[in-house]
A and B are shown apart, each in its own frame.
Chain A
């Protein structure tokens, strides 16, 4: 457990409404990530952050924005939710593994349903 929490854990929302998902970490790690996972598929990177106010796009960033105003929180916003954004969203952090590589640790996920 790398001290990662996500909120909410479950959310149902209507098409066109804004939604913000929160990822919180307690260990001051520099790198944070948002992924989505759809049934039967691996995870796909939405956005990532390499420091406060430093973010970049991943492979499926359209329709999503992020913010990181403090080290411990990384927010994912769907400005106007669509049914195609129904998915499970995972937050992750990177931890240097003591000399050879980074390891990623994942939060428990947020299940978002857009009706």
Chain B
């Protein structure tokens, strides 16, 4: 799997937007970009994913660079509950591989987001 690079930590203030960057310069044309987050003492939870176009859902937005070598997870108004480790993960969508592994994820160390009140 192609690797991703994220800052170890970031800090934000409550009710301000947060932009979490991820570099993936070796991304292949068949890689989806997934974001998960892990709140303290919980398992990871899915946030958003995309392939080429920007994506929005109720939790966040995902902005993908035109060359797909980087992406940014955007939290529009950070809350204290958004304090978590955010993981940017690439997942190959090629069909034959998917038959057995389903959605095998390779986690890096992520970005620890601190939200200040």
Residues of chain A touching chain B, judged by Cβ–Cβ distance below 8 Å, are 30-31, 33, 35, 40-45, 48, 50, 54, 56, 58-59, 90, 92, 94, 97, 100-109
Q: How far is the CB of A97 from chain B (nearest CB, A)?
A: 8
Q: How far is the CB of A106 from chain B (nearest CB, A)?
A: 3
A–B pairs, 21, beta carbons within 8 Å? A31-B101, A31-B102, A33-B104, A42-B85, A43-B44, A43-B105, A50-B99, A50-B101, A56-B101, A90-B43, A92-B43, A100-B51, A102-B91, A102-B98, A103-B46, A103-B49, A103-B103, A104-B105, A105-B45, A106-B43, A109-B43
Residues of chain B touching chain A, judged by Cβ–Cβ distance below 8 Å, are 32, 34, 36, 41-46, 49, 51, 85, 87, 91, 93, 98-110
Contact A104 B109 (CB under 8 A): no
- C-alpha spacing A97/B110, complex, angstroms: 23
Q: How far is the CB of A5 from chain B (nearest CB, A)?
A: 12
